[in-house]
Amino acid sequence: MPQVEMDKVEPLLEQYEDQRLNLIPILQDVQETYRYLPELVLRRISKKLRVPLTEVYQVATFYRCFSLVPRGKHVIQVCLGTACHVRGAPRVLDRILRDLKLPHAGTTEDLQFTVETVRCIGCCGLAPVARVDNTNTHPHLTQAKVGGLLKKYQEKAEAPKAAKPDEASHAKA
Amino acid sequence: MPTLKINGIEVEVEKGMTVLEAARFLGIPIPTLCHEDALQPYGACRLCLVEVSNGRKTTLQASCCLPADDGLVVFTHSARVERARKLLLEMYVATCPSSKRIQDMASAMGLRECRYEAKHETCIQCGLCVRMCEQQMMAGAIGFSGRGVNRSVTRPFDMTSELCRQCGACLFICPVCESRCQGPQAESTLCNGCLNISTVCFQSYDNAMCFLEPCHACEIGGPFRADVGVKPRSKDLTHIVGK
Ligand code: SF4
Ligand code: SF4
Ligand code: SF4
Ligand code: FES
Ligand code: FES
């Protein structure tokens, strides 16, 4: 278990009333703060909201936006929906994975990037697309454009280096 | 008090009852896999489908979650219902061929073939164990995780739960945990083993009257099922079956 700064949790929990309907907003905040949902934090939330841990875990594993293992600083979602697929998304994905030296979709060692695949993000006219950090959509991708795309975020990501937590203890079975 | 019509019979039920309860109150059996009287309805297995007409349209709905409202017209065993139920059951058989409860139901409902490949899963995701643990054992030690094909019953973080008292209630309630009879064809997808057993009682004793819970062989191959071909010797069974 990496050192989770539990002191960040308390002020976060203060903002919400202790009601079960606040579970998802709280988890979203935690995900944003830590870039994943640490186990200790989930246990704390369960105690505070008086929601069984099983239920917290159920919600945390149900939604794609939550992760139990640390995610990278930038999340690249490559669309593999029908339109993107026929317009060459698999090749774009291959290129991204190769450039980041990932064997398959996942998080890079230095915790800078997480690559995910999604099914249609609703802008098939721009196929093939990838979305970074849920806001920046990159249209009409080709293998040639991948390098530039990664570079854009790599440069930004340079300055603050996140400490590398011990991933093994968090790996989901 | 709401009044509704089930299979043509008018029935007045208490407010808050479900259609399933109302039908059972009338003595109409509806097969279920995820329902248990002591637990909250869940609506996962869909075997309790009934045809409900609410004026113009008729729809198939899960009766265990359907409130018995005033003026509903319900058919519990129409051709459409039976077809849908059998198809579902066929898929359940293919999912978990080793489950006794599913095989029994298949035999009793007259399923005679299974067209799907056997998957030998260990769970049909009925949620009974999860509800049992939470609502009756007050432990909440197990729950679902993941979604879609990855959904499964687990303990949080896959660790031994400190909440579990090892009471065994989850195993007791699970429709898959009990293995089917190990007859000569224990490997087949569909069991139907009971069909090969003829009811001894009816063959040895004329006009036998059994006051026990009918055994499966009796229920499935006995005098109450015309389509099976195992017939009791006595022609005069009117005092049992009625006319
Ligand atoms: S032999 Fe009969 S009771 Fe046994 S599993 Fe098969 S159908 Fe069920
Ligand atoms: S054995 Fe454990 S998991 Fe199962 S019902 Fe009992 S307390 Fe819950
Ligand atoms: S383990 Fe058994 S009781 Fe629990 S959900 Fe699966 S089939 Fe249902
Ligand atoms: S298929 Fe990629 S955006 Fe629709
Ligand atoms: S008993 Fe109604 S859906 Fe399972």
All structural domains of chain B with their residue ranges: 3-77, 82-120+179-241, 128-173
Assess whether A79 and A154 both reside in one domain: yes
Q: Are residues A54 and A23 in the same domain?
A: yes
- Do residues A124 and A96 share a domain? yes
Q: Do A93 and A130 share a domain, yes or no?
A: yes
Task: Say yes or no: A32 and A83 in one domain.
Answer: no
Q: Does A116 share its domain with A78?
A: yes
Using pLDDT thresholds of 50, 70 and 90, give the confidence band for residue A56: very high
Give the pLDDT confidence score for residue B56 in this predicted structure. 81
CATH code for position A79: 3.40.30.10
Cα of A157 vs its chain's centroid, Å: 15
Residues A82 and A128 in one domain: yes
Residue A12 lies in a domain: yes
pLDDT tens digit string along B4-41? 999 999 999 999 999 999 999 998 989 999 999 999 99
From A59, which residue of chain B is nearest by alpha-carbon distance? B145
In a shared domain, residues A34 and A91: no
Residue A165 lies in a domain: no
- The answer to whether A54 contacts B147, with C-beta atoms less than 8 Å apart, is no
For residue B241, what pLDDT is reported? Answer: 45
- A53, A98: one domain: no
Nearest residue, CB atoms, A58 vs list B141, B145, B158: B145
Q: What integer is the mean pLDDT of A6-12?
A: 84
User: Are residues A144 and A97 part of one domain?
Assistant: yes
Average pLDDT, chain B: 84
Is A57's CB within 8 Å of B134's CB?
no
In a domain, A170, yes or no: no
Mutating to test ligand 3, I would choose from B102, B129, B131 the residue with most ligand atoms within 8 A of its C-beta, which is: B129
The class (CATH top level) of B128-173 is alpha beta
- Report if residue A171 sits inside a domain: no
Q: Where are the beta strands (DSSP E) in A28-165?
A: 74-79, 113-118, 130-132, 136-138
Which atom of ligand 5 lies at the shortest distance from residue B43's CA? 3
> A84 and A34 share a domain?
no
pLDDT band at B127 (very low <50, low <70, confident <90, very high): very high
Q: What is the pTM assigned to this prediction? A: 0.79
User: A58 to chain B: which residues are within 8 Å by CB?
Assistant: 143-145
Annotate chain B with three-state secondary structure. CCEEEECCEEEECCCCCEHHHHHHHCCCCCCCCCCCCCCCCCCCCCCCEEEEECCCCEEEEEHHHCECCCCCEEECCCHHHHHHHHHHHHHHHHHCCCEHHHHHHHHHCCCCCCCCCCCCCCCCCCCHHHHHHHHHCCCCCCEEECCHHHCEEECHHHCCCCCCCCCCHHHHHCCCCCECCCCCCCCCCCCCHHHHCCCHHHHHCCCCCCCCCCCHHHHHHCCCCCCCCCCCCCCCCHHHHCC
Each residue's pLDDT tens digit, B62-113 = 999 999 999 899 999 999 999 999 999 999 999 999 999 999 888 888 888 8
**Looking at the 3D structure of chain A, how many domains does it have?**
2
Query: Do A13 and A47 fall into the same domain?
Result: yes
CATH number of the domain that A28 lies in? 1.10.10
Q: Residue A156's pLDDT band (boundaries 50, 70, 90)? A: low
Domain residue limits at A141: 74-160
Whether domain B3-77 has CATH 3.40.190.10: no
| A69 in a structural domain | no
Residue to mutate (ligand 3; options B95, B105, B154, B176; most atoms within 8 A of CB): B176
